[in-house]
Homo-oligomer: A and B are copies of this chain.
Amino acid sequence: MKVSHLFTKTLKNAPADEVAKNAQLLIRAGYVYKEMAGVYAYLPLGLKVLENIKQIVREEMNGINSNELVMTSLQRKDVWEKTTRWSDEVVDIWFKTKLKDETELGLGWSHEEPIVEMMKNYVHSYRDLPVSLYQFQTKLRNELRAKSGIMRGREFVMKDMYSFHATKEDLDAYYDQAAEAYKRVYERLGIGDDTYMTFASGGAFTKFSHEFQTICEAGEDVIYLHRGKNIAINEEVIDDAVAELGINRDELEQVKTAEVGNIFNFGTQKTDEMDLYYTDKEGKQHSLYIGSYGIGVTRVMGVIAEKMSDEKGLVWPEAIAPYKVYLVSIGKVSDEAEVLYEKLQTAGLTVLYDDRDERPGAKFADADLMGLPHRVTISERLIQDGKVEYTSRASGETTVLTLDELLAKIA
Protein backbone atom coordinates (compact mmCIF):
# COMPACT_ATOMS: atom_id res chain seq x y z
CA MET A 1 0.00 0.00 0.00
CA LYS A 2 1.18 3.49 -0.80
CA VAL A 3 0.59 6.27 1.68
CA SER A 4 -0.67 8.43 -1.19
CA HIS A 5 -3.50 5.89 -1.66
CA LEU A 6 -4.39 5.85 2.00
CA PHE A 7 -7.21 8.33 2.48
CA THR A 8 -6.44 8.85 6.15
CA LYS A 9 -4.04 11.51 7.30
CA THR A 10 -2.12 11.68 10.52
CA LEU A 11 -3.39 14.39 12.79
CA LYS A 12 -1.39 16.67 15.11
CA ASN A 13 -4.17 16.53 17.69
CA ALA A 14 -6.89 14.11 18.70
CA PRO A 15 -10.44 15.43 19.21
CA ALA A 16 -10.61 17.57 22.34
CA ASP A 17 -13.20 15.26 23.96
CA GLU A 18 -10.99 12.18 23.62
CA VAL A 19 -9.25 11.57 26.94
CA ALA A 20 -7.97 8.00 26.49
CA LYS A 21 -4.38 7.63 25.30
CA ASN A 22 -5.17 4.56 23.18
CA ALA A 23 -7.88 6.37 21.21
CA GLN A 24 -5.87 9.59 20.97
CA LEU A 25 -2.99 7.72 19.35
CA LEU A 26 -5.20 5.55 17.16
CA ILE A 27 -7.17 8.55 15.91
CA ARG A 28 -4.06 10.66 15.31
CA ALA A 29 -2.38 7.83 13.39
CA GLY A 30 -5.46 7.17 11.25
CA TYR A 31 -6.41 3.76 12.67
CA VAL A 32 -9.84 4.64 14.05
CA TYR A 33 -12.45 7.37 13.73
CA LYS A 34 -14.58 8.44 16.65
CA GLU A 35 -18.26 8.33 15.78
CA MET A 36 -19.31 9.15 19.34
CA ALA A 37 -18.12 8.32 22.87
CA GLY A 38 -17.34 4.60 23.01
CA VAL A 39 -18.18 4.08 19.33
CA TYR A 40 -15.33 3.94 16.82
CA ALA A 41 -15.07 3.10 13.13
CA TYR A 42 -12.03 1.04 12.11
CA LEU A 43 -10.22 2.66 9.20
CA PRO A 44 -8.08 0.59 6.80
CA LEU A 45 -5.01 0.45 9.08
CA GLY A 46 -7.09 -0.21 12.19
CA LEU A 47 -9.15 -2.90 10.45
CA LYS A 48 -5.93 -4.70 9.52
CA VAL A 49 -4.79 -4.75 13.14
CA LEU A 50 -8.21 -5.97 14.21
CA GLU A 51 -8.20 -8.75 11.61
CA ASN A 52 -4.67 -9.77 12.61
CA ILE A 53 -5.77 -10.09 16.24
CA LYS A 54 -8.89 -12.02 15.20
CA GLN A 55 -6.84 -14.41 13.11
CA ILE A 56 -4.58 -15.27 16.04
CA VAL A 57 -7.60 -15.85 18.26
CA ARG A 58 -9.30 -17.86 15.49
CA GLU A 59 -6.31 -20.17 15.04
CA GLU A 60 -6.11 -20.88 18.75
CA MET A 61 -9.85 -21.51 19.11
CA ASN A 62 -9.84 -23.80 16.06
CA GLY A 63 -6.88 -25.51 17.68
CA ILE A 64 -9.08 -26.64 20.58
CA ASN A 65 -11.75 -27.91 18.17
CA SER A 66 -14.11 -24.99 18.48
CA ASN A 67 -16.22 -24.10 15.43
CA GLU A 68 -16.76 -20.56 14.24
CA LEU A 69 -20.28 -19.24 13.61
CA VAL A 70 -21.96 -15.88 13.94
CA MET A 71 -25.04 -15.25 16.03
CA THR A 72 -27.35 -12.25 15.63
CA SER A 73 -27.34 -8.77 17.07
CA LEU A 74 -31.16 -8.60 17.38
CA GLN A 75 -32.30 -10.50 20.46
CA ARG A 76 -35.61 -12.04 21.52
CA LYS A 77 -37.16 -11.04 24.82
CA ASP A 78 -38.57 -14.52 25.56
CA VAL A 79 -35.13 -16.12 25.36
CA TRP A 80 -33.59 -13.74 27.89
CA GLU A 81 -36.59 -13.81 30.22
CA LYS A 82 -35.81 -17.46 30.95
CA THR A 83 -32.80 -16.38 33.02
CA THR A 84 -34.27 -13.06 34.27
CA ARG A 85 -31.57 -11.25 32.26
CA TRP A 86 -34.04 -9.40 30.02
CA SER A 87 -34.76 -7.11 32.96
CA ASP A 88 -32.99 -3.75 32.92
CA GLU A 89 -32.64 -4.04 36.67
CA VAL A 90 -30.69 -7.27 36.31
CA VAL A 91 -28.68 -6.21 33.24
CA ASP A 92 -28.19 -2.45 33.15
CA ILE A 93 -26.40 -2.18 29.82
CA TRP A 94 -29.11 -3.27 27.37
CA PHE A 95 -29.82 -1.29 24.27
CA LYS A 96 -33.40 -2.11 23.29
CA THR A 97 -35.53 -1.33 20.27
CA LYS A 98 -38.86 -2.33 18.76
CA LEU A 99 -40.35 -3.93 15.68
CA LYS A 100 -43.12 -2.09 13.81
CA ASP A 101 -45.70 -4.12 15.72
CA GLU A 102 -44.18 -2.90 19.03
CA THR A 103 -42.50 -6.24 19.80
CA GLU A 104 -39.52 -5.40 22.01
CA LEU A 105 -36.08 -6.53 20.83
CA GLY A 106 -32.71 -6.36 22.53
CA LEU A 107 -29.33 -5.73 20.93
CA GLY A 108 -26.81 -8.42 21.79
CA TRP A 109 -24.44 -7.51 24.63
CA SER A 110 -23.66 -11.22 25.23
CA HIS A 111 -24.84 -14.42 23.53
CA GLU A 112 -25.06 -17.02 26.28
CA GLU A 113 -28.83 -17.24 26.32
CA PRO A 114 -29.43 -17.33 22.54
CA ILE A 115 -26.71 -19.92 21.97
CA VAL A 116 -28.08 -22.18 24.72
CA GLU A 117 -31.56 -21.75 23.23
CA MET A 118 -30.23 -22.59 19.76
CA MET A 119 -28.50 -25.72 20.97
CA LYS A 120 -31.86 -27.26 21.85
CA ASN A 121 -32.11 -27.87 18.10
CA TYR A 122 -28.83 -29.71 17.86
CA VAL A 123 -28.04 -31.42 21.17
CA HIS A 124 -30.25 -34.31 22.15
CA SER A 125 -28.03 -37.23 23.00
CA TYR A 126 -24.69 -37.91 24.70
CA ARG A 127 -23.44 -38.63 21.18
CA ASP A 128 -23.89 -34.95 20.31
CA LEU A 129 -21.41 -33.87 23.00
CA PRO A 130 -19.03 -32.21 23.56
CA VAL A 131 -19.53 -29.16 21.35
CA SER A 132 -17.58 -25.90 21.35
CA LEU A 133 -18.63 -22.86 19.35
CA TYR A 134 -17.27 -19.35 19.03
CA GLN A 135 -17.92 -16.15 17.17
CA PHE A 136 -16.54 -12.69 16.57
CA GLN A 137 -19.48 -10.46 17.23
CA THR A 138 -20.05 -6.72 17.39
CA LYS A 139 -21.55 -6.32 20.85
CA LEU A 140 -23.57 -3.30 21.88
CA ARG A 141 -23.55 -2.22 25.52
CA ASN A 142 -25.25 0.84 26.90
CA GLU A 143 -22.40 1.91 29.16
CA LEU A 144 -23.17 4.94 31.34
CA ARG A 145 -19.70 6.31 30.72
CA ALA A 146 -17.33 5.56 27.86
CA LYS A 147 -14.05 7.36 28.47
CA SER A 148 -11.52 4.59 27.92
CA GLY A 149 -11.31 4.77 24.14
CA ILE A 150 -11.55 1.35 22.52
CA MET A 151 -10.81 -0.30 25.89
CA ARG A 152 -14.47 0.06 26.90
CA GLY A 153 -16.78 0.63 23.98
CA ARG A 154 -20.51 0.94 23.61
CA GLU A 155 -19.92 -0.92 20.34
CA PHE A 156 -17.01 -3.34 20.27
CA VAL A 157 -15.81 -6.66 18.90
CA MET A 158 -15.72 -9.66 21.18
CA LYS A 159 -14.75 -13.26 20.65
CA ASP A 160 -17.14 -15.30 22.72
CA MET A 161 -16.96 -19.07 22.94
CA TYR A 162 -19.34 -21.53 24.55
CA SER A 163 -18.70 -25.19 25.28
CA PHE A 164 -21.25 -27.90 26.09
CA HIS A 165 -20.44 -31.11 27.93
CA ALA A 166 -22.05 -34.24 29.30
CA THR A 167 -20.04 -34.29 32.51
CA LYS A 168 -18.32 -31.98 34.96
CA GLU A 169 -15.02 -33.74 34.25
CA ASP A 170 -15.32 -33.11 30.54
CA LEU A 171 -16.07 -29.42 31.08
CA ASP A 172 -13.19 -29.11 33.57
CA ALA A 173 -10.76 -30.63 31.08
CA TYR A 174 -11.95 -28.32 28.30
CA TYR A 175 -11.81 -25.32 30.62
CA ASP A 176 -8.13 -26.07 31.21
CA GLN A 177 -7.55 -26.46 27.46
CA ALA A 178 -9.24 -23.09 26.86
CA ALA A 179 -7.05 -21.48 29.55
CA GLU A 180 -3.95 -22.78 27.76
CA ALA A 181 -5.25 -21.54 24.41
CA TYR A 182 -5.86 -18.12 25.94
CA LYS A 183 -2.29 -18.00 27.24
CA ARG A 184 -1.05 -18.78 23.73
CA VAL A 185 -3.20 -15.97 22.32
CA TYR A 186 -1.72 -13.34 24.65
CA GLU A 187 1.76 -14.71 24.09
CA ARG A 188 1.34 -14.37 20.31
CA LEU A 189 -0.15 -10.90 20.71
CA GLY A 190 3.03 -9.81 22.48
CA ILE A 191 1.49 -9.22 25.93
CA GLY A 192 2.06 -12.68 27.38
CA ASP A 193 4.62 -11.57 29.94
CA ASP A 194 2.30 -8.96 31.42
CA THR A 195 -0.91 -11.01 31.33
CA TYR A 196 -1.98 -13.07 34.33
CA MET A 197 -4.65 -15.69 34.73
CA THR A 198 -6.42 -14.21 37.71
CA PHE A 199 -8.87 -15.53 40.28
CA ALA A 200 -12.17 -13.65 40.02
CA SER A 201 -15.76 -13.99 41.18
CA GLY A 202 -17.36 -17.31 40.48
CA GLY A 203 -21.04 -18.09 40.24
CA ALA A 204 -23.55 -20.60 41.45
CA PHE A 205 -21.31 -23.47 40.41
CA THR A 206 -17.72 -22.53 41.19
CA LYS A 207 -16.12 -20.36 43.83
CA PHE A 208 -13.89 -18.62 41.30
CA SER A 209 -13.93 -17.81 37.64
CA HIS A 210 -10.75 -16.72 35.86
CA GLU A 211 -9.92 -13.47 34.21
CA PHE A 212 -6.92 -12.71 32.07
CA GLN A 213 -5.59 -9.40 33.35
CA THR A 214 -2.89 -7.39 31.62
CA ILE A 215 -0.82 -4.92 33.59
CA CYS A 216 -1.88 -1.52 32.26
CA GLU A 217 -1.97 1.89 33.93
CA ALA A 218 -5.14 2.79 32.03
CA GLY A 219 -6.90 -0.40 33.12
CA GLU A 220 -9.99 -0.27 35.31
CA ASP A 221 -9.14 -3.26 37.50
CA VAL A 222 -6.83 -3.86 40.43
CA ILE A 223 -5.27 -7.24 41.04
CA TYR A 224 -2.93 -8.64 43.65
CA LEU A 225 0.04 -10.37 42.18
CA HIS A 226 2.66 -12.84 43.32
CA ARG A 227 5.08 -12.78 40.40
CA GLY A 228 7.27 -15.56 41.81
CA LYS A 229 4.43 -18.00 42.26
CA ASN A 230 2.56 -16.69 39.21
CA ILE A 231 -0.57 -16.13 41.29
CA ALA A 232 -2.94 -13.26 40.56
CA ILE A 233 -6.15 -12.36 42.36
CA ASN A 234 -8.76 -9.78 41.48
CA GLU A 235 -9.30 -7.46 44.45
CA GLU A 236 -13.00 -8.39 44.41
CA VAL A 237 -12.16 -11.87 45.74
CA ILE A 238 -8.93 -11.14 47.60
CA ASP A 239 -10.15 -12.27 51.03
CA ASP A 240 -11.61 -15.54 49.78
CA ALA A 241 -8.66 -16.31 47.55
CA VAL A 242 -6.00 -15.62 50.14
CA ALA A 243 -7.80 -17.95 52.53
CA GLU A 244 -8.36 -20.61 49.89
CA LEU A 245 -4.82 -20.57 48.54
CA GLY A 246 -3.17 -20.23 51.94
CA ILE A 247 -0.88 -17.40 50.89
CA ASN A 248 0.36 -14.41 52.81
CA ARG A 249 -1.28 -11.20 51.69
CA ASP A 250 1.87 -9.19 52.45
CA GLU A 251 3.70 -10.99 49.67
CA LEU A 252 1.25 -9.69 47.08
CA GLU A 253 1.87 -6.66 44.92
CA GLN A 254 -1.07 -4.42 43.97
CA VAL A 255 -1.16 -3.53 40.25
CA LYS A 256 -3.56 -1.81 37.86
CA THR A 257 -4.74 -4.04 35.06
CA ALA A 258 -7.13 -4.32 32.14
CA GLU A 259 -9.25 -7.44 31.73
CA VAL A 260 -8.47 -8.88 28.30
CA GLY A 261 -10.35 -12.17 28.68
CA ASN A 262 -12.35 -14.28 31.04
CA ILE A 263 -13.38 -17.90 31.31
CA PHE A 264 -16.36 -18.97 33.31
CA ASN A 265 -17.67 -22.35 34.41
CA PHE A 266 -21.47 -22.22 34.50
CA GLY A 267 -21.79 -25.83 35.55
CA THR A 268 -25.41 -26.84 34.98
CA GLN A 269 -26.90 -23.48 35.92
CA LYS A 270 -27.74 -22.28 32.39
CA THR A 271 -28.99 -25.65 31.26
CA ASP A 272 -31.35 -25.82 34.22
CA GLU A 273 -32.60 -22.28 33.73
CA MET A 274 -33.15 -22.79 30.00
CA ASP A 275 -34.14 -26.48 29.80
CA LEU A 276 -31.35 -27.78 27.60
CA TYR A 277 -30.85 -31.49 28.30
CA TYR A 278 -29.31 -34.58 26.77
CA THR A 279 -30.16 -38.24 27.17
CA ASP A 280 -27.59 -40.88 28.06
CA LYS A 281 -27.21 -44.41 26.63
CA GLU A 282 -30.09 -45.60 28.78
CA GLY A 283 -32.33 -42.79 27.60
CA LYS A 284 -32.14 -40.97 30.91
CA GLN A 285 -32.22 -37.16 30.81
CA HIS A 286 -29.35 -35.06 32.21
CA SER A 287 -28.34 -31.45 32.58
CA LEU A 288 -25.51 -30.16 30.39
CA TYR A 289 -22.34 -28.56 31.72
CA ILE A 290 -21.54 -25.27 30.02
CA GLY A 291 -18.47 -23.07 29.91
CA SER A 292 -18.22 -19.52 28.57
CA TYR A 293 -15.00 -17.90 27.34
CA GLY A 294 -14.56 -14.29 26.22
CA ILE A 295 -11.82 -12.16 24.69
CA GLY A 296 -12.43 -8.46 24.13
CA VAL A 297 -10.81 -8.16 20.72
CA THR A 298 -11.02 -4.39 20.34
CA ARG A 299 -10.14 -3.95 24.02
CA VAL A 300 -6.97 -6.00 23.52
CA MET A 301 -6.09 -3.69 20.63
CA GLY A 302 -6.61 -0.72 22.97
CA VAL A 303 -4.50 -2.26 25.72
CA ILE A 304 -1.68 -2.92 23.26
CA ALA A 305 -1.91 0.68 21.99
CA GLU A 306 -1.67 1.91 25.61
CA LYS A 307 1.24 -0.32 26.59
CA MET A 308 3.21 -0.39 23.39
CA SER A 309 3.58 3.26 22.58
CA ASP A 310 5.90 6.10 23.46
CA GLU A 311 5.97 9.88 23.13
CA LYS A 312 6.35 9.52 19.35
CA GLY A 313 3.40 7.19 18.79
CA LEU A 314 2.36 3.56 18.49
CA VAL A 315 4.80 0.61 18.59
CA TRP A 316 2.95 -2.44 17.22
CA PRO A 317 4.16 -5.94 17.95
CA GLU A 318 5.16 -7.62 14.70
CA ALA A 319 2.32 -10.19 14.85
CA ILE A 320 -0.49 -7.63 14.58
CA ALA A 321 1.09 -4.63 12.83
CA PRO A 322 -0.99 -3.58 9.80
CA TYR A 323 2.17 -3.71 7.68
CA LYS A 324 5.60 -4.95 8.68
CA VAL A 325 7.63 -2.26 6.90
CA TYR A 326 7.32 1.50 6.54
CA LEU A 327 9.31 2.40 3.44
CA VAL A 328 10.49 6.01 3.19
CA SER A 329 11.90 7.56 0.03
CA ILE A 330 13.96 10.72 0.38
CA GLY A 331 14.55 12.95 -2.60
CA LYS A 332 14.18 12.03 -6.26
CA VAL A 333 14.46 8.27 -5.94
CA SER A 334 10.96 7.15 -6.85
CA ASP A 335 12.11 4.63 -9.49
CA GLU A 336 14.49 2.96 -7.07
CA ALA A 337 11.92 3.14 -4.29
CA GLU A 338 9.35 1.37 -6.48
CA VAL A 339 11.84 -1.40 -7.18
CA LEU A 340 12.62 -1.77 -3.48
CA TYR A 341 8.88 -1.73 -2.67
CA GLU A 342 8.39 -4.66 -5.05
CA LYS A 343 11.42 -6.55 -3.76
CA LEU A 344 10.32 -6.28 -0.14
CA GLN A 345 6.86 -7.57 -1.05
CA THR A 346 8.33 -10.38 -3.11
CA ALA A 347 10.29 -11.38 0.00
CA GLY A 348 6.95 -11.83 1.74
CA LEU A 349 6.91 -8.58 3.70
CA THR A 350 3.87 -6.32 3.86
CA VAL A 351 4.91 -2.75 3.11
CA LEU A 352 3.44 0.71 3.56
CA TYR A 353 5.40 2.88 1.14
CA ASP A 354 5.50 6.59 1.91
CA ASP A 355 5.63 7.88 -1.67
CA ARG A 356 4.51 11.39 -0.79
CA ASP A 357 6.33 14.54 -1.76
CA GLU A 358 7.00 15.47 1.86
CA ARG A 359 9.96 16.49 4.00
CA PRO A 360 11.93 13.52 5.43
CA GLY A 361 11.13 14.75 8.94
CA ALA A 362 7.40 14.64 8.26
CA LYS A 363 7.69 11.10 6.87
CA PHE A 364 9.75 9.93 9.84
CA ALA A 365 7.29 11.49 12.27
CA ASP A 366 4.38 9.71 10.56
CA ALA A 367 6.33 6.45 10.56
CA ASP A 368 6.87 6.80 14.30
CA LEU A 369 3.25 7.72 14.96
CA MET A 370 1.88 4.80 12.92
CA GLY A 371 4.28 2.45 14.67
CA LEU A 372 5.12 -0.22 12.07
CA PRO A 373 7.94 -2.46 13.36
CA HIS A 374 10.53 -1.77 10.64
CA ARG A 375 11.38 1.49 8.89
CA VAL A 376 13.44 1.29 5.70
CA THR A 377 14.75 4.47 4.11
CA ILE A 378 16.35 5.05 0.72
CA SER A 379 17.94 8.22 -0.59
CA GLU A 380 20.30 9.16 -3.43
CA ARG A 381 23.26 8.91 -1.09
CA LEU A 382 22.26 5.44 0.15
CA ILE A 383 21.61 4.23 -3.40
CA GLN A 384 25.15 5.30 -4.43
CA ASP A 385 26.51 3.13 -1.63
CA GLY A 386 24.19 0.23 -2.56
CA LYS A 387 22.61 0.42 0.90
CA VAL A 388 19.37 1.15 2.73
CA GLU A 389 18.88 2.57 6.21
CA TYR A 390 17.04 0.40 8.67
CA THR A 391 15.41 1.59 11.90
CA SER A 392 13.65 -0.57 14.44
CA ARG A 393 10.58 1.22 15.81
CA ALA A 394 10.78 -0.62 19.13
CA SER A 395 14.48 -0.10 19.91
CA GLY A 396 15.15 2.96 17.78
CA GLU A 397 18.32 1.19 16.58
CA THR A 398 19.40 2.50 13.16
CA THR A 399 21.84 0.70 10.85
CA VAL A 400 22.91 0.95 7.23
CA LEU A 401 22.57 -2.37 5.42
CA THR A 402 22.64 -3.99 2.01
CA LEU A 403 19.30 -5.33 0.80
CA ASP A 404 20.45 -8.87 1.52
CA GLU A 405 21.42 -7.93 5.04
CA LEU A 406 18.08 -6.21 5.52
CA LEU A 407 16.11 -9.22 4.32
CA ALA A 408 18.17 -11.53 6.52
CA LYS A 409 17.24 -9.32 9.44
CA ILE A 410 13.50 -8.82 8.93
CA ALA A 411 12.08 -11.13 6.24
Contact = CB atoms under 8 A, between A and B. Distances in A.
A95 B6 CA distance: 33
A353 to B, nearest CB: 15
A332 interface: no
Given A36-B74, A69-B44, A97 B95 contact: yes
Contacts of A64: none
A41 B70 contact: yes
A154 interface: yes
Contacts of A100: 142, 144
A122 B9 CA distance: 6
Interface in A125-151: 128, 131, 133, 138, 140, 142, 144
Contacts of A96: 97
B35 A72 contact: yes
A99 interface: yes
Interface in A84-102: 95-100
Contact of A47 (B70, B99, B119, B128): B70
Contacts of A42: 69-70
A229 interface: no
A69 B41 contact: yes
Contacts of A274: none
Give how many copies assemble into the complex. Answer: 2
Nearest to A130: B7
Contact of A74 (B76, B122, B154): B154
Contacts of A287: none
A67 B98 CA distance: 34
Chain A interface: which size bin?
35 or more
A394 interface: no
A118 interface: yes
Given A41-B69, A97-B96, A35 B76 contact: yes
A114 B40 CA distance: 12
Contact of A140 (B11, B71, B73): B73
A95 B100 CA distance: 9
A121 interface: yes
B133 A7 contact: yes
Nearest to A111: B41
B74 A155 contact: yes
Contact of A44 (B36, B67, B76, B154): B67
A266 B282 CA distance: 67
A285 to B, nearest CB: 19
Contacts of A122: 7-9
A35 B40 CA distance: 27
26 contacts: A5-B65, A7-B67, A7-B122, A7-B123, A7-B131, A9-B122, A33-B121, A35-B75, A39-B72, A41-B71, A41-B72, A41-B114, A42-B69, A44-B67, A44-B69, A47-B68, A47-B69, A72-B155, A73-B155, A74-B154, A95-B97, A95-B98, A95-B105, A96-B97, A97-B97, A97-B107
Given A7-B123, A72-B155, A95-B97, 16 more contacts: A5-B65, A5-B67, A7-B119, A8-B122, A11-B121, A33-B118, A39-B74, A40-B72, A41-B69, A41-B70, A41-B118, A42-B70, A43-B69, A73-B138, A97-B97, A100-B144
